[in-house]
Amino acid sequence: MKSNDDASRTAEATRASVLGLILNMVLVAVKLIAGILGKSAAVIADSVHSLSDSVTDIAVIVGIHLAGKPPDKEHRYGHGKIETLCALLVSLVLAGVGVKLLWSGALAIFRVIQGEVPATPGWVAVGAAVVSIIVKEWLYRYTLKIGAKIDSKAVIANAWHHRSDAFSSIGVAVGVTCSILLGGKWLILDPIASVIVSVLILLTAISISRSCLAELLETSLGEEIVNEIREITNEVSGARNAHNIRTRRIGANIAIDMHIEVDRNLLITEAHDICDRIEIALKARFGESTFVTVHCEPILLD
């Protein structure tokens, strides 16, 4: 059964993702229609990007619910890495969108260079891009705030997917506006804007995927966190020389394994009490869902 904190976390993540899904579907329709009516390849491409956002919203909703399941017999550390896999999926979709936009934009530029004259975009295309910028920037800020609050890589990755759509629309708005105002050879600015957007999207995808892969490969949380764990442990009465500290992230939670030294003359119950106090201290700092394993090594004190 989920704890109240887990249930609240799932509810907040779902609320943000459902809102994103609804707004994305509206933007897909608005930008697709505006792109067709306004004869803008960049705006049509931007609508495809918004469609990919909708796919990742669904993936995040499913992933968050699965990751929120409590530990069971087969998954003693819970299901948190499903959330990380979900975030990785978002980054891969994002990368796919980036590659597609880069390819289509590059082909359009090549055609213009070869002498093909693209149709002049209409102002309706610019209007759709501006609406998208406002909506997606707000959605990015809202989703990022929720992701940071509940410490969810998947939600944060989805927020950056929204931000990439906002970047996409900014590039589109600028490119299409210049094409309309300047005309002639400057019509090439529309596909150039699409290419610039695709590069920004790819950079975002790489950043998110690197973070996810680091967690899936169980990369340490870093020396700063390890030092903090050591300090907290050594402050517990009876515990000495915290060492062999190993850390890793499991979704929104972290796991800590360590060795400590205790007086060899202590009773088993006394040594166990020291370990309990270490666990309480670490959970107070890193969260109640932190996995803590402490191994005692008996030493002879002077």
In terms of average pLDDT, the best of 47-61, 210-224, 225-239 is: 225-239
**Model confidence pLDDT, tens digit, residues 172-186:** 787 778 777 776 666
* Residue tagged 């920004």 (tokens): 200
CB atoms within 10 A of CB 280: 12
Q: Which residues contact 63 (CB under 8 A, 6 or more apart)?
A: 82, 83, 85, 86, 87, 89, 154
pLDDT of residue 1: 39
Nearest C-alpha neighbor of 241 from the set 256, 262, 225: 262
pLDDT of residue 183: 64
Q: Which residues contact 286 (CB under 8 A, 6 or more apart)?
A: 254, 256
Split at pLDDT 50, 70, 90, the class of 5 is low
CA–CA distances in Å: residue 277 to residues 3, 5, 77, 162, 301: 23, 23, 21, 43, 21
Torsion of CA 265, 269, 275, 276, to 10 degrees: -150
Q: Average pLDDT for residues 2-23, to the nearest whole number?
A: 75
In terms of average pLDDT, the best of 12-21, 49-58, 114-123 is: 12-21
**Model confidence pLDDT, tens digit, residues 67-109:** 667 766 777 676 677 777 877 887 887 788 788 778 877 887 8
- List, in order of start, the domains of the chain with CATH numbers: 4-216 (1.20.1510.10), 223-299 (3.30.70.1350)
Least confident of 9-18, 116-125, 148-157: 116-125
Q: Average pLDDT for residues 280-292, to the nearest whole number?
A: 86
pLDDT of residue 167: 76
pLDDT of residue 277: 92
Q: Average pLDDT for residues 183-212, to the nearest whole number?
A: 75
Q: Average pLDDT for residues 53-77, to the nearest whole number?
A: 72
Split at pLDDT 50, 70, 90, the class of 24 is confident
Give the DSSP per-residue string, 54-95: HHHHHHHHHHHHHHTSPP-SS-TT-STHHHHHHHHHHHHHHH
pLDDT above 70: percentage of residues in the chain: 87
Strand partners, 240: 261
H/E stretch holding 296: strand 291-299
Q: CA-CA distance, 101 to 49, in Å (whole number)?
A: 9
DSSP 8-state symbol, 301: -
Least confident of 74-83, 146-155, 214-223, 225-234: 74-83
pLDDT of residue 6: 63
**Model confidence pLDDT, tens digit, residues 117-150:** 666 667 787 888 888 889 989 989 999 998 888 7
**Model confidence pLDDT, tens digit, residues 253-279:** 788 999 998 988 888 898 999 999 999
- Strand pairing category for 291-299 and 253-263: parallel
Q: CA-CA distance, 221 to 130, in Å (whole number)?
A: 40
Q: Evaluate if residue 151 carries a pLDDT over 50.
A: yes
Q: CA-CA distance, 295 to 85, in Å (whole number)?
A: 31
Q: CA-CA distance, 59 to 248, in Å (whole number)?
A: 24
pLDDT of residue 100: 79
Helix (H, G, I), strand (E, B) or coil at 26: helix
